[in-house]
Amino acid sequence: MAPSGARMSSHEAQLWGGLKVAGVSRMSEDERGGSAVVVLHGWGAPGDDLVPLAEALQRPGVRFFVPAGPLPEMGGGRAWWHLDPNARPPHASTDQLARGFQPTPAVVTARAAVQALIATVVDRYAPTTVALVGFSQGAMLSIDVALAGAPGVDLVVAMSGVLLMDSVSALTAPHPSHPRFLLSHGRRDPVVPFASGSLAKDLLEKHGFSVTWRPFDGGHEIPSPVLADVERFLFPPS
């Protein structure tokens, strides 16, 4: 694992789902077990945008992996999928697939990359717990990957996200295990509507998933109270 805030070489990145990954951990390379947390940034952010979040949450026995989205955006940012009409995945309004729906290629690619990253982490470090943490577009992808269930994910934090239409088939499929979710959303979010985040909560609960719901009076952000909720959710007091 690369040192805190460091980038792996392009050769090493091929072992992590083809993604460039920043690592944050106090664990040595030869340690096994502990917890693994994969942190997915939002659209247009720098690839290492959420490294400070990982650093704020780090503690002994935990490895954080912060991959950069595979797609470049203007200004040096990255994305998991572009926002133009031909590439942007539709949001789910129900738990029924729209007639004629075709999977969004960029979501399929992003899902596979994060699944490969998790599989490598599990194979290399054998963590006892695997968590996904995402903001905005990264929150949508976190929900999607967790529902896909291969590899399995134990905990999901989705901040300012929605359920994608691409995720509906996995939502309604049988699940041998159910990850637990923490969803947060600002009531005045100007980017991702609050109602869409609330609907994601409702749909997950409808299909038997445990959801901790944390709405707040704010916008498209991660306020301090939500960060405290995330910390308690990922690392509950013993």
Q: Across the strands, what pairs with 171?
A: none
The pLDDT value recorded for residue 53 is 97
pTM here?
0.94
Distance between CA atoms of 29 and 115, rounded to whole angstroms? 21
- Look at the chain and report how many structural domains it folds into: 1
54, 6 Cβ separation under 8 angstroms: no
The pLDDT value recorded for residue 49 is 96
DSSP tally for the chain: helices H, then strands E:
7, 10
Distance between CA atoms of 17 and 30, rounded to whole angstroms? 21
pLDDT digits (tens, 9 = 90+) for 52-64: 999 999 999 999 9
The pLDDT value recorded for residue 6 is 43
Mean predicted lDDT score pLDDT of the chain: 92
Is residue 91 a part of any domain in this protein? no
Is residue 24 a part of any domain in this protein? yes
Residue 230 corresponds to which tokens in the numbers above?
């995330």
Mean pLDDT value of segment 174-196: 95
Strands 78-79, 71-72: pairing is antiparallel
Residue 127 corresponds to which tokens in the numbers above?
């963590």
Is residue 92 a part of any domain in this protein? no
**pLDDT class of 3 with cuts at 50, 70, 90:** very low
The single residue listed with the structure tokens 């390379």 is 29
Is residue 220 a part of any domain in this protein? yes
Distance between CA atoms of 145 and 137, rounded to whole angstroms? 12
The pLDDT value recorded for residue 14 is 56
Is residue 4 scored above 80 in pLDDT? no
Question: Which of 125, 9, 115, 7 lies closest to 66, judged by CA?
Answer: 7
Mean pLDDT value of segment 115-135: 97
Burial (CB count within 10 angstroms: exposed 0-12, middle 13-18, buried 19+), residue 226: buried
The pLDDT value recorded for residue 19 is 94
The pLDDT value recorded for residue 86 is 80
**pLDDT class of 7 with cuts at 50, 70, 90:** very low
Mean pLDDT value of segment 125-148: 98
Is residue 136 a part of any domain in this protein? yes
Length of the chain: 238
Distance between CA atoms of 48 and 46, rounded to whole angstroms? 5
CATH number, position 230: 3.40.50.1820
Distance between CA atoms of 161 and 170, rounded to whole angstroms? 17
Phi-psi region of 127 (alpha: psi -120 to 50; beta: other; left: phi over 0): beta
Is residue 11 scored above 90 in pLDDT? no
Is residue 90 a part of any domain in this protein? no
Burial (CB count within 10 angstroms: exposed 0-12, middle 13-18, buried 19+), residue 150: exposed
Question: Which of 111, 117, 112, 108 lies closest to 37, judged by CA?
Answer: 117
Is residue 121 a part of any domain in this protein? yes
pLDDT digits (tens, 9 = 90+) for 12-67: 555 688 899 999 999 999 999 999 999 999 999 999 999 999 999 999 999 999 99
Domain that holds residue 51: 6-85+104-234
Using DSSP, state whether 77 is helix, strand or coil.
Answer: coil
Is residue 94 a part of any domain in this protein? no
The pLDDT value recorded for residue 138 is 98
Question: Which of 102, 106, 119 lies closest to 65, judged by CA?
Answer: 119
